[in-house]
A and B are shown apart, each in its own frame.
Chain A
Amino acid sequence: MTQDPNTRAEVEPTEIGANAAETGERRLEDTHDVTADHEVPIGDLDFAAVAEHGHVAAERDPDAPAVLTVDNLKMYFPVKSSGLVRRTIGQVQAVDGISFEVPKGGSLGLVGESGCGKSTTGRLITRLYTPTGGSMMFEGQDLAKLSNREMKPLRRDVQMIFQDPYTSLNPRHTVGTIVGAPLEVHNIVPKKQVIPRVKELLEVVGLNPEHYNRYPNEFSGGQRQRIGIARALTLNPKILVADEPVSALDVSIQAQVVNLLQDIQREFDVAFLFIAHDLAIVRHFCPEIAVMYLGKIVEIGDRETIYSHPHHPYTQALLSAVPDVKQAAVGGRRERIRLEGDVPSPINPPSGCRFRTRCQFAQEICAKVEPPLLQIGKRHKVACHFAGELGAHPATPVTTEILGVDDQGSAVPGATPAARLSIPGYEKTWYDLDTKQTAGA
């Protein structure tokens, strides 16, 4: 859940040292390449110059190979009974069989509402939790199967940026200790070189490198998030899991941090798993997006498809719920799909399609058969029996042939359901909804 920064102590004076670093009044001669990119010199505040530092939405590199391949990942948390003997009486199916790929140097966005399992997914990939099932292939090794000891060298490559910059930094450690700790833990550089490396990293994230011996409370929220980013970058990771990296920050600071992350991605070729509930930020940062609901991916695809041609009723509802600044020109509120009620409990999720209890298109089949995550476009998969564009959802289920069931979801004798439907990446061919045939590029 996000914490709103704007209500934090209204009268709190801005921290010391805040302005010097954040506005970049210092400018060292010998700076890292990126530094020049995203820090705005305060001396000549000029709109054109500042605009140069702002980025347009990130693009997808079509040739990038997958750096992380997640297949059928599951995380069930046991629910214990009360009483004398604490038996396991159920499971919270926080993540239930999700598959996706994160391209090298690219970003996959993971969106969904609280409790959908997106944060759990991030914690699984960084192995803060050990998954119940499935695999996470990274550089030829399955992160899901490694022991904690085997995982240790790989932690260098998989790092995390946390949501709350106020609680994720130890207040008793200096910035230098926080950022340099991974170097010492992994014994990467001689002790003498830790401080120079820390300074270099602070420079990269746009902080004054001379502030390495200050404590986190001397920095503003945005600066603390930069410290968190510097710490994540310390070991030159190949993949960064960013869990709501900007939602605790002030609006004007959010853009600074998003731009910084884009700079870092370009410069270091880091892949991002970008977890956020803010659909607009995700759209800006990620060329590819997966939408989660109650532990499952319901739709995944490239930006254009997900935001302009969503086929899942939940994605459509989610997008229509986002308040739109452009509405000011028209006045009043946009027509939107109203979702009633709350998300059901993940302990006892609905049978079949998990979204059916709140879906206006739900029919008998939705309760009986779980819809597969079916590829319906070049880079578009959707898990819905009635997948279709808004206002054009089909009257009969589109998945019957593949699943070998009739329109009510009962098995058709003799029909053979397709063996395996959900793979992490995309196939060359897909099921075309209009022709009901397999199509290809």
Chain B
Amino acid sequence: MAYMKRSPWIIHYDGSSCNGCDIEVLACLTPLYDVERFGIINTGNPKHADIFVVTGSVNEQNREVIRNIYEQMPQPKVVVALGICACSGGVFRECYNVEGGMDKVIPVDVYVPGCPVRPEQIIDGVVKALGVLEEKRARMKSGAPAEATV
């Protein structure tokens, strides 16, 4: 069976964000932007997902949940950090309960800043993630681990 490199399945999780980026993720799926026409589906099951779209600045309680979702996803997998909160903590950076950035918890491949991110930016980020996914798949095919060691 041919490998479908243009129709990734996505899992979305709100890692302590304000909702703004999350409703824009949903807006991508609905008629104006409609990424579902390319076969991109928002799934609720981590084991079905290729791309982890995650928002928010991550608080104490959410850390384990995010890590669980990430670890349950099969290789190759790509993490897209959506919004300035997921990139660096954003306006909440100095709050007492936030980690300040998704990369403190899981490895992030694509950063999409913005407050909130626009649907066009989200789509752009996911397209970029497709390239990363392809690289990781090629690496796995050659027998190397999907995640490049730095």
Partners in one complex: no
Interfacial residues, chain A to chain B (CB-CB below 8 A): none
